[in-house]
Amino acid sequence: PKPPQASARMSAAMRDALRRLASRATVAVVSGRAREKIREFVDLGDLYYAGSHGFDIDGPGSLRHSVSAEIIPVLAAARDALRRSLAHVAGASVEDNRFSVSVHWRKCAPRRDAIERVVDDVLASPPFAGALRKSEGKCVFELRPDADIRLVEDPTSIAGAIEEESS
């Protein structure tokens, strides 16, 4: 069976609404998912896409902006450690979002606390301690670089990246 994040779809009506909005204004799609995945999901050119909570941005023309690219190997190692540690938990899945790692537990909610302990144990061990931080969403734990960036805290600052590219 597909993990829950793989079954997400955008309706034709929503895509059409975004298309109409983009014909009138600059539109940026911000998601916790990988930029490539959200671009494929939305499937509209001429929009700006901010994946991994703003750590990875692209848009029309040559706009390309990434933050903390040096952390990608650490995130990949965390992803692998979590997949090994959670392989026995039916319903848990680990998603690689390039600049973040998501641990989905919607299909195994009764095991939420045990899954969080595994995530916390991984985060407490080298090289992850101090390099990554955990946040929690709806039935998901996310590991992100422990970096202080405006795009994560204030998505409206994506406009600054767009303006810099345009000038």
Tens digit of each residue's pLDDT (9 = 90 or more) over 39-74: 999 999 889 998 888 888 888 888 888 877 889 999
Residues sharing a CB contact under 8 Å with residue 76, sequence separation 6 or more, in sequence order: 96
Tens digit of pLDDT for each residue in 72-125? 999 999 999 999 999 999 999 999 988 899 999 999 999 999 999 999 999 999
Between CA 3 and CA 91 the distance in angstroms is 8
- Beta bridge partners, 143, equal 101, 134
Neighbours of 147 (CB within 10 A): 14
Which of helix, strand or coil describes residue 72? helix
**Residue 3, pLDDT score:** 47
Positive or negative torsion for Cα 32, 54, 57, 163: positive
| Rg value, the chain, Cα | 17
Enter the pTM of the model: 0.72
Residue 165 has pLDDT above 90, yes or no: no
Cα distance from N-terminal residue to C-terminal residue, the chain: 47
Residue 24 has pLDDT above 50, yes or no: yes
